[in-house]
Amino acid sequence: AVLVVGSANADLVVPVERRPGGGETVLGGDTTLSPGGKGANTAAAAGRLGADVALLGAVGDDSYGRLLRDSLAAAGVATGHLRTVGRPTGIAYITVTPDGENSILVSPGANSALEPGDITDDVLDGVRVMVTSLEVPLPTVEHAVARASAKGVRVLLNLSPAAEVSRETLGALDVLLVNEHEAAYLLGTAGADPRKLLELGPRAAVVTLGAKGAVVVEADGSTEVASPKVEAVDTTGAGDAFAGALAASLAEGATLVDAAKRAVKVAAVSVTRHGAQPSYPTPDELE
Ligand code: ADP
């Protein structure tokens, strides 16, 4: 089974001609509400592919929390470890300008209530692959990584949004998953050799390269995995689709390179459709 430890947010997306400055009011277009958050997206992507997957996270006792629960269940994600807490569900306020650029303000809300103590041993029972990302409190993520790694669970960290994590955590990772910006953040410079990521401690690293696909870095060499050419309409949640697909394949016993080959296909389909979770394909939609 796959366990995702991560965030669940309601995405409120508003098209705007331009973003308001301080003290200014700007009128935008109609708001679209959709289920999001890196953890929920990753779990939904794996669930759509048929993986046995659960999300360990937290939502509020409100309509957004119910929307997330319903959307996860529809994608086949187990929600028994999704706690309802006394804070509002996390919300991402997203403005999109005509050039397609997003600005995102996240109010983590309930996600902030996810504590190290939530990662109990029984949560990890029967888990082959754990995936986590950084929209939940760092001590929770670091504790989850340590616990899972000590139990022999394969651990993937999607270092997104980029933040400083301990050497110990990096050293406990089976797979460090980053996009080009996050790789540059970790290596202190853009365009650095992705093989240098292994010097930070993970056993393997995967760097996603947008329309170019991804590169898989392992101790015995690196492999470029090209993306299928597609007409991108909305890249929201593409990295999460990649993460979920990667984890689903690894849990089935695929090699990291084979898992990345499937993940670029899944992420490519996701960018041809609007939204994050609603854009994720089932296996028969991959052809
Ligand atoms: P993030 O979404 O985290 O910023 P990327 O932009 O690298 O990360 O995208 C993640 C993955 O999504 C890529 O590895 C690729 O497989 C897929 N992807 C993103 N943009 C495109 C695109 N324009 N065409 C095809 N695939 C894409």
What CATH number is attached to the domain comprising 250? Answer: 3.40.1190.20
Residue 265 lies in a domain: yes
* Ligand 1 atom closest to Cα of residue 242: 11
102 annotated to bind ligand? no
pLDDT for the residue numbered 102:
83
Share of residues in the chain with pLDDT > 90 (%): 93
241 token code pair: 């689709």
Interface ipTM > 0.85: yes
The residue whose C-alpha atom lies closest to atom 8 belonging to ligand 1 is: 239
Residue 58 lies in a domain: yes
pLDDT for the residue numbered 185:
97
Mean pLDDT value of segment 7-30: 96
The confidence band for 287, taking pLDDT boundaries of 50, 70 and 90, is: confident
pLDDT value at 183 more than 90: yes
pLDDT for the residue numbered 275:
85
Residue 99 lies in a domain: no
260 annotated to bind ligand? no
pLDDT value at 274 more than 90: no
Cα distance between residue 15 and residue 146, in whole Å: 41
Q: Is the sign of the CA dihedral 227, 233, 238, 244 positive or negative?
A: negative
Strands 154-158 and 129-133: parallel
* Ligand 1 atom closest to Cα of residue 180: 7
Mean pLDDT value of segment 182-189: 97
Cα dihedral angle (79, 114, 40, 34), rounded to 10 degrees?
110
Q: How far is CA 116 from CA 11, 39, 141, 220, in A?
A: 26, 16, 8, 34
- 3-state DSSP percent of the chain in helix, strand and coil, to 5: 35, 25, 35
158 annotated to bind ligand? no
Provide Rg for the chain, Cα atoms: 18
**150 CA to middle of ligand 1, Å?**
32
Catalytic (active-site) positions: 240
- Taking a C-beta distance cutoff of 8 angstroms, is the pair 205, 194 a contact? yes
3-state secondary structure 247-272: HHHHHCCCCHHHHHHHHHHHHHHHHC
pLDDT digit string, tens, across residues 216-270:
999 999 999 999 999 998 888 999 999 999 999 999 999 999 999 999 999 999 9
Strand blocks (E) in the chain: 2-5, 9-15, 32-36, 53-60, 77-78, 82-85, 90-96, 102-107, 129-133, 154-158, 175-179, 204-208, 213-218, 221-226
**242 CA to middle of ligand 1, Å?**
8
Mean pLDDT value of segment 155-179: 97
pLDDT for the residue numbered 43:
98
- The residues, any chain, with a CB within 8 Å of residue 95's CB and separated by 6 or more, are 13, 14, 15, 16, 19, 28, 102, 103
Classify 100 in phi/psi space as left (phi over 0), alpha (psi -120 to 50) or beta: left
Cα distance between residue 51 and residue 47, in whole Å: 5
pLDDT value at 169 more than 90: yes
Range of the domain at 225: 2-7+37-88+110-280
The residue whose C-alpha atom lies closest to atom 23 belonging to ligand 1 is: 211
Query: Model pTM?
Result: 0.96
Residue 194 lies in a domain: yes
**98 CA to middle of ligand 1, Å?**
20
- The residues, any chain, with a CB within 8 Å of residue 96's CB and separated by 6 or more, are 13, 14, 15, 16, 102
The residue whose C-alpha atom lies closest to atom 18 belonging to ligand 1 is: 210
Residue 81 lies in a domain: yes
Cα distance between residue 136 and residue 247, in whole Å: 19
CA neighbor of 80 nearest in space, from 60, 57, 62, 61: 57
pLDDT digit string, tens, across residues 193-226:
999 999 999 999 999 999 999 999 999 999 999 9
223 burial class (0-12, 13-18, 19+ CB within 10 angstroms)?
middle
**227 CA to middle of ligand 1, Å?**
8
Share of residues in the chain with pLDDT > 70 (%): 100
pLDDT for the residue numbered 100:
79
- The residues, any chain, with a CB within 8 Å of residue 163's CB and separated by 6 or more, are 134, 138
pLDDT digit string, tens, across residues 98-128:
987 889 999 999 999 999 999 998 999 999 9
Residue 13 lies in a domain: no
Mean pLDDT value of segment 34-55: 97
pLDDT value at 86 more than 90: yes
CA 76 vs. chain centroid, Å, equals 17
Residue 82 lies in a domain: yes
37 annotated to bind ligand? yes
Q: Is 209 in the pocket of ligand 1 (CB under 6 A)?
A: yes
283: cis peptide before it, omega within 30°? no
Cα distance between residue 260 and residue 224, in whole Å: 9
Overall domain count for the chain:
1
Mean pLDDT value of segment 164-172: 98
